[in-house]
Structure 1
Amino acid sequence: MPTLAYLLLGSNLGDRAARLAQARHDLAATAGRLVAASALYETAAWGLTDQPAFLNQVLAIETDLAAPTLLAACLAAEQQQGRERQVRWAARTLDVDILLFGQEILATPTLTVPHPALPARRFALVPLAELAPQLRHPQLHQTISELLSACTDPLPVQRITA
């Protein structure tokens, strides 16, 4: 039975919208069936702030892949768009994070789901709440809407597409 996974896409280099569109296509081809995609949202860079603003989007994907295999598909999508991992939180062509993987809780040296920073990042919660406001976080037992209401991240998240 497929697992419903929520992925966060982000880009702040080049044609950001085109990069996210290509990532949607690539992930639908390799990771599973694209069930839904949020609007695109623009947010100032988080972490290292002296860089271009990000476009972010959340995808809901039904996948038959195990979480580590889904991570490999996400990393492959990043690499196809020239992602280089040299400095943490640096500008990037594409970033793909697994926010949630069904109701699974997983902590390995290479993958932690739910994403540990999800409750603290408005740029992830806003598009996720668009798709699944009543979804409960498997560890915190709060809905995504509740997490968003409690989020103290001050960065504004601006919806740019319908």
Structure 2
Amino acid sequence: MRRAYVALGSNRGDPVAKVQAGMTALGQLPQTRVERCSSLYRTAPMGAVVDQPDFINAVCRIKTELDANALMKRLLDIEARHGRVRDGEPGGPRTLDLDLLMIDHQVIATPELTLPHPRLHERAFVLYPLAELDPDLVIPGHGGVTELLGACCGQRVQRLEPAASADNP
């Protein structure tokens, strides 16, 4: 089985409930099991659309038999089932956003998918939960998660209570 990391985020409706629903949906994917989910983190919006509510973010480490493209398709299906419409402005509000961060240490660069996620090394809202799950994780082409956190100055990230899920004791 492959080890994959999936980032979850939401800032519309009840974002905590949306992220937790996303965690549950990950556990229901075929040939996949959730190993562990990070705590929830409250983070400031990034990018062009800053006048919007804070995000709730987390990362789940999963084991899956699905290949990268099949897993990505399943993640997009989960987003759609939770009301995500992909016609908004990049960085804008989201009901549920699922990003495939990496699968094992695969490097993939196709028009459909880039792994590791092309901006993961710049985003504290992903690096903090990754470091919580696997502090020694190395991101191909970028280095260790802990070292990368040092370069993410100025991004507001607040750890909340651990994620409440059956897969996260």
Give the superposition deviation at 1:21.
1.2
Counterpart residue number, 1:80: 81
Matched, 1:45 2:66: no
* Residue type at the aligned position of 1:43: T
Encode CA deviations 1:88-147: one digit per residue, 9 max, x unaligned: 22101000001111000001111100011011111110111100110111222x211111
* Residue type at the aligned position of 2:79: E
Matches within 5 A, 1:52-63: 52-63=53-64
Counterpart residue number, 1:18: 17
Which runs of 5 or more residues in structure 2 are unaligned?
Answer: 163-169
Paired residue total: 159
TM-score by length of 2: 0.91
* Residue type at the aligned position of 1:158: Q
TM-score by length of 1: 0.94
Deviating beyond 3 angstroms after TM superposition, the runs of 4 or more aligned structure 1 residues are none
Counterpart residue number, 1:28: 27
Match of 1:113 among 112, 115, 134: 115
For the residue of structure 2 that corresponds to 1:40, the secondary structure is strand
Counterpart residue number, 2:156: 156
Give the superposition deviation at 1:150.
2.5
Greater strand percent: which structure? 2
What fraction of aligned residue pairs are identical, expressed as a percent?
42
For the residue of structure 1 that corresponds to 2:161, the secondary structure is coil
- CA RMSD, 1 decimal: 1.0
Question: 69-78 vs 27-36, which deviates more?
Answer: 27-36
